[in-house]
A = this chain, B = another copy of it.
Amino acid sequence: MRMPDNATWTASPDGDPERACPIAPVVDIVFSRWTTPILWTLNTHGRQRFVELERRIARITPKVLTQRLRQLERDGLVVRTYHAEVPPRVEYEISELGRSLAPLFAHLTEWATDNLPKVDRARHAYDSAGDPAGSLPSAKR
């Protein structure tokens, strides 16, 4: 049996399935569908209205945007401000807690820059490996 040498991930003695992966809850909260683009947009463009978000994220439907915003608000990552005017105005901004994700996202961006090309190459290698005449990668790039 082989144990990884790096101690960056610490093993929790696995009794439960969930406990086997301590970061599962965070992933649920932060990396659910649409939440990342929403948080990103709110952080980069600051406080903005519903329609602005809708337009910037694009392809998201108002229904889903509402759902995700409510969820993020409930989780304390986003602050919703309702202005009782006519027409009504609602503004969303990232909370302090939400902002605390910034370094994490930066790290993620860094990893993407460094390694996404590798992922791409791995994919092409994998795909061409299955091909009949794929043994000779003379064609393609």
Contact = CB atoms under 8 A, between A and B. Distances in A.
A122 B74 contact: yes
Given A8-B105, A103-B8, A122-B97, A112 B22 contact: yes
Interface stretch (A42-50, A61-69, A82-90, A133-141): A42-50
Interface residues of A, number: 66
B2 A122 contact: no
How many copies of the chain does the oligomer comprise?
A: 2
Nearest to A21: B37
A106 B36 contact: no
Interface string A116-140: 1011011101110000000000000
Contacts of A29: 119
A96 to B, nearest CB: 9
Given A26-B116, A74-B123, A76-B126, 20 more contacts: A2-B47, A4-B99, A8-B105, A9-B44, A10-B44, A10-B109, A20-B57, A21-B36, A21-B40, A22-B109, A22-B112, A23-B40, A27-B36, A27-B108, A31-B31, A73-B126, A74-B127, A76-B121, A76-B125, A100-B115
